Amino acid sequence: MNGKVSQFDETLPLVLIIDDAPEVHALLRSRLATEEICFVEAATGEEGLSLAQYRSPAMILLDIDLPGLNGFEVLKALKDDARTHTIPVIILSAECTPESKVRAFDLGAVDFVTKPFEFTELRVRVRSALRVHQLVQMLAQKAQIDGLTGLWNRMFFDRRWAEEHSRNQRQGHALSVALLDVDHFKQVNDTFGHPAGDSVLQALAKTIVRESRATDLACRYGGEEFALVMPDADVNAARIVCERIRLSIEADVLPRINGRVITVSIGIAGASERVSISAEEWVETADKNLYIAKRNGRNRCESTDMSGRPPLRMTA
């Protein structure tokens, strides 16, 4: 994706400027140079929309008078797209009529700044919009974290798994998913109480994170079940990770349950290449393997290499 980027630093907020006047781009970069932000620039509404979808900026400075799609049309498209609708947009315009302001705010703009700019005011408005974005991001992240274990929750799993599956379909990257279930967990709750059961889940969550790779995504799938998304891992690499997790959990001594050995059963489904199978069928294969692991004695991993295989057939 093209687009002029200034002094890119991925640790800083990215601000997208959509304006057809190069001198406006230069002026904004110069006058906002003291702010801890990076810029990416577009000269048309179409280019700006593509960059917003691809780069996910922290904020957009949007001119109304653009060739092709005008600013109002771009703003509507941004707010109608799930990928971009939470990005705060400040409208930049030489037109300062009440009608323009009302239309901009009705379409979802967070602010309206009139050209020529008063830059002290603009800096304050940019900082305010970035704070709003940071707060929205924090709230969105909190909504995707499991309160007991601190892992990502099922909502996050569903979204990221869909993204990773799509990447496998587009680019053929290796991908695996594992479902982990605590063996005889009901007995733990019945014997030692639910607070002890909670402490077991918390300890297991820490072990899963510690023993998995930095790129893996550990999630609480539900109840005593966990999920591990492993990008760029074929089924053999995934099995190595899962065996390491399984053995580490078995070796842990947990005081809250009088040293009782806790084990997990794990089902894995992975591929080293693009596979003709839906995201749901892929997870179903891992779940089927988890059931096989339980049936074969628990405290074990069962896996399927789906590379080159046709889609899993659903049965009634």
pLDDT digits (tens, 9 = 90+) for 188-199: 999 999 999 999
pLDDT at 310: 57
Give the three-state DSSP class for 314: coil
Active site residue 224: yes
Q: CATH topology of 4-142 equal to that of 154-305?
A: no
pLDDT at 187: 93
The more confidently predicted of residues 246 and 56 is: 246
pLDDT at 135: 83
CB 226 within 8 A of CB 180: yes
Considering 41, 47, 211, 224, which one is annotated as catalytic?
A: 224
- Fold annotation for 154-305: Alpha-Beta Plaits (3.30.70)
pLDDT at 276: 86
Class for domain 4-142, per CATH? alpha beta
CB within 8 A of 20, min separation 6: which ones?
43, 44, 63, 65, 66, 67
- What is the mean predicted confidence (pLDDT) over 311-315? 46
For residue 224, how many other CB atoms are within 10 A of its CB? 20
- Average of per-residue pLDDT values in the chain: 90
Question: What is the chain's percent helix, strand, coil content, to nearest 5?
Answer: 45, 20, 35
Give 4's pLDDT tier (boundaries 50, 70, 90): low
pLDDT at 316: 36
Q: Residue 210 carries which side chain, given as an amino acid letter? A: R
pLDDT at 312: 47
Tell me: pLDDT of 3 over 50: yes
Give 104's pLDDT tier (boundaries 50, 70, 90): very high
pLDDT at 254: 85
| Cα–Cα distance for residue pair 61/117, rounded to 1 Å | 12
Token pair listed for 160 = 């990221």
- Strand ranges across the sheet with 217-222: 217-222, 225-231, 175-182, 264-271, 301-305
